[in-house]
Structure 1
Amino acid sequence: MTEHNWDSLEVFDGGDNTDTLLGSFSGTTVPALLNSTSNQLYLHFFSDISVSAAGFRLEYKTVSLTSCPEPVIPMNGMKVGDRLQMNNVVSFQCEPGYTLQGNSHISCMPGTVRRWNFPPPLCIAQCGGIREEMEGMILSPGFPGNYPSNSDCTWRIYLPVGHGAHVQFLNFSTEANHDFLEIRNGPFETSPVIGRFSGQEVPPSLLTTSHETTVYFHSDHSQNKPGFRFEFQAYELQECPDPEPFRYGVVVGAGYNVGQSISFECQPGYQLWLEGLR
């Protein structure tokens, strides 16, 4: 207890008053626990000429200043930061395609025992999700381990209008004819399927022509496999030039974007000599 605002106790984290001030205390409120990070502590008490009070009584004890233990780096992840002393922070990131589950930042806590304030996170290949980046990775749930049974996973890729997705497969292994992956050119379950893949063969790369792409994966109750891994990258959709008009015929269709089709039809009495689709 001191005369409020006039008599005070200052605590410095070091050997003199030029070191870090841990706290300045005055009045009747008992200060909170303090932890220093130095082997020296400097206390300065000041009282003025007027009111006297009961003052203060404090206890101190030594604590180890050893580092926190090296945190476990999550599988398919990485650690950023190498300082493990008290109040230091390390952060974690996941490899492309994985989702961080837990706290991305953990701090080495003060106290009598050095410990982290949170456990290290995990990096998980989830069943479904939203992708809004211009390029990224999508993995089957549990990759590189086997995917679980009875999975129905939907991912949606949302790109800026005027862009499609270039999909390039890196790994593929599912139970043939039973577990499959579908790529749909649009955001709906009814959107056109531009690829349906099952078995052990790595699918070819493909292009979507919508800025919204749906990826759907299904597994049944039986055999489990490692699944798939593919990367996607946005590309700018460009229109083909208008087809040249031709005599005695008409062009059917008005969309000239990459991946779209038009057809040619002849007027009655005329025969088309080339293929009807371009």
Structure 2
Amino acid sequence: MQATLMCWLLLANSLLANVGARSPVLPKLEVDIKPSLGSEDAKVDPKLVRTLLDNNFESGTLNPWYDESPGYVNWRVENLAAPSEANSTAPKPTTGTQYVRATRNADLASGLAVLRSPTFTASPGDRVSFDFWIRSKRPEGNNLELVWVVDRTEQQLVSLSQFSTLSNYEWRTKSVVIPVNVPTDGELVFYGYCGSNYEDAIGLDNILVESSTYTTQAPGSDCIVLLASFGTFTSPNYPSSYPENANICWLIPDAYSITLQFNNFETEAGKDTLKIYLGTTTSSELFADLSGYYIPNAITKYTESMLLVFTSDSANSYAGFSITYQIIRPTTTSPSTTISTKATPTYAPIICETTELSTGTTAEFTTTWYPTTPSTNPWTTTSSATGPSNCGGLISGYSGIIESPNYPNEYGNSLDCRYLVQVPCGYRVRLYFNSFNTESSYDFVNVHDGPSTSNYLLLRASGTTRPSTVYSSSNEILLRFTTDSSGTRSGWQATFEYYY
């Protein structure tokens, strides 16, 4: 009996020692807890789990995400109408009324909250986005991290302590690409460290894991079909050596123009080749036959489809290639001079030097201006600056400056200014703010990952805190600045530049 009691005491001491040894600043947990799914759900193949990960918590449950918190702070679904901490109520979510919150015990003990996904298969280009709310009495005192875990090895994707201030009463949106080059089984984990002051709080909402390079097998074919507007694909096993006797193809259908940016290229010269056809079969026009140790220049072709075929022989394999692609889809309406009181503006495709349109003519971009009174015409297209001074427009180039109207003097009321920023094909956009001062909670800057407000919301900012740097996934972003009918500030100035 004494021996049995002694064993239990030793086991309890060991467990307590492990808990106490964790640092208060976002420790990483070496545990292996299975997801809180039903017995049948727990057997779901990792390739299928990705479709289950999206959760806006309106159902009132965490599933398929699960709480793995080790101490006095836990993740709990909270309703806006019934806050768990009356002195630290959450702001209204962007959608719905429920969200998940790092909830403390009655003593408001500080600690770590851990929210983990089940194991799923992430493909190149997959992206996770989420809304978050984080506040603390001490600036940057709380933190929210997102990490990607493969075989217990963690890679940090996001750290958000810079948003942790006493004045933060806003939900913000963050989006990041999952760093994989080939389909990989792994987990996403949110680590939230919440302090012991009653003002301290962390919230999550609208978690979305979306594929940017969703692939499927073409009917009656072995080719991988690239359906997303942008993404990255690689040779098998990249960056490790591709297999011998490989024969794999990728098909890009339903396009207006296709851009390929080569991130790396290493094959056996003259024997292991990547052939690019302007069409859907190998009988289509052969545009390029690539092999060797060089990185080809970016390619932009105005074609309805493209077929890429990679073959290798029975000896001497190398690292292969990584290619980022962008597809401009055909549109049914022209953005020329159409005026609508409801439509969201559309834009002509990005011009790489000179664009040959379907008519065989050469065209330049026109400038799009947005009037100060949205109720008249939400958008018009002209060839000269007929709109309000500096209020929106098309801005293209390798780098440049964007400013709110009248900056550094105060901007006006009732603005809806939209700036479409484009860098050359094959590059992406980096945007950072040199200064920022808007009327908090009333005048907002939204940045979308693409040319429309329907694209990913990369940033929503208001107030006096300078926003974090924004990185796009393509060569376009849309910056929208809106103001209400009263109260103005000095506004903002931002710099954009291209990057790979």
Range of TM-score over shorter length: 0.3 to 0.5
Q: Which has the higher helix share?
A: 2
Q: TM-score, normalised by structure 1?
A: 0.45
